[in-house]
């Protein structure tokens, strides 16, 4: 059930996953999600995730990810990459043979970037939105 007026007011407080916090009633006012989740508004996009190759990174089928195209990708980043013309979501890693796009699910193969494989990192994942209900 939505609150009266249908407006949700987020609370800027930590929530304990163990014992209740004595600061639970402390309120700092509404949270601007743009301010808290987006570094560069002109370069940030929300993409829908389809597939299970990144469940080990906590990214599940149906989640939404925030992708910032202005961030320089680094080893260990979860990235959206274009591999031979197809978009994929993987972790950027190095191997003895060079770069690899690593799946975070043992049921999926990682993608070694060798030979004629063309790859461009489209953007770096900064946040994952996972629906719980």
Active-site hit among 16, 53, 95, 110: 53
- What does DSSP say about strands 44-48 and 86-95: parallel, antiparallel, or unpaired? unpaired
Q: Is 70 a catalytic residue?
A: no
Report how far Cα 92 is from the mean position of its chain's Cα atoms: 13
List, in sequence order, the alpha helices (H) in the chain: 33-37
Closest CA to 50 of 80, 85, 89, 12: 89
Active-site hit among 16, 21, 43, 90: 90
DSSP symbol at 106 = T
User: CA 72, CA 126: separation in Å to the nearest integer?
Assistant: 12
Q: Is 53 a catalytic residue?
A: yes
Catalogue the active-site residues: 53, 90
């Amino acid at each position: 059930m939505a609150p009266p007026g249908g407006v949700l007011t987020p609370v800027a407080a930590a929530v304990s996953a163990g014992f209740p916090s004595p600061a639970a009633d402390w309120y700092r006012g509404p949270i601007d999600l743009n301010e808290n989740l987006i570094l560069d508004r002109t370069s940030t996009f929300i993409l829908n995730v389809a597939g299970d190759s990144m469940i080990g990174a906590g990214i599940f089928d149906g989640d939404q990810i925030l992708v910032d195209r202005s961030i320089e990708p680094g080893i260990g980043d979860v990235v959206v990459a274009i591999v031979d013309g197809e978009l994929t979501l993987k972790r950027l890693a190095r191997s003895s043979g060079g770069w690899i796009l690593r799946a975070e699910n043992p049921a999926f193969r990682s993608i070694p970037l060798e030979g004629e494989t063309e790859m461009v990192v489209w953007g770096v994942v900064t946040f994952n939105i996972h629906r719980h209900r």
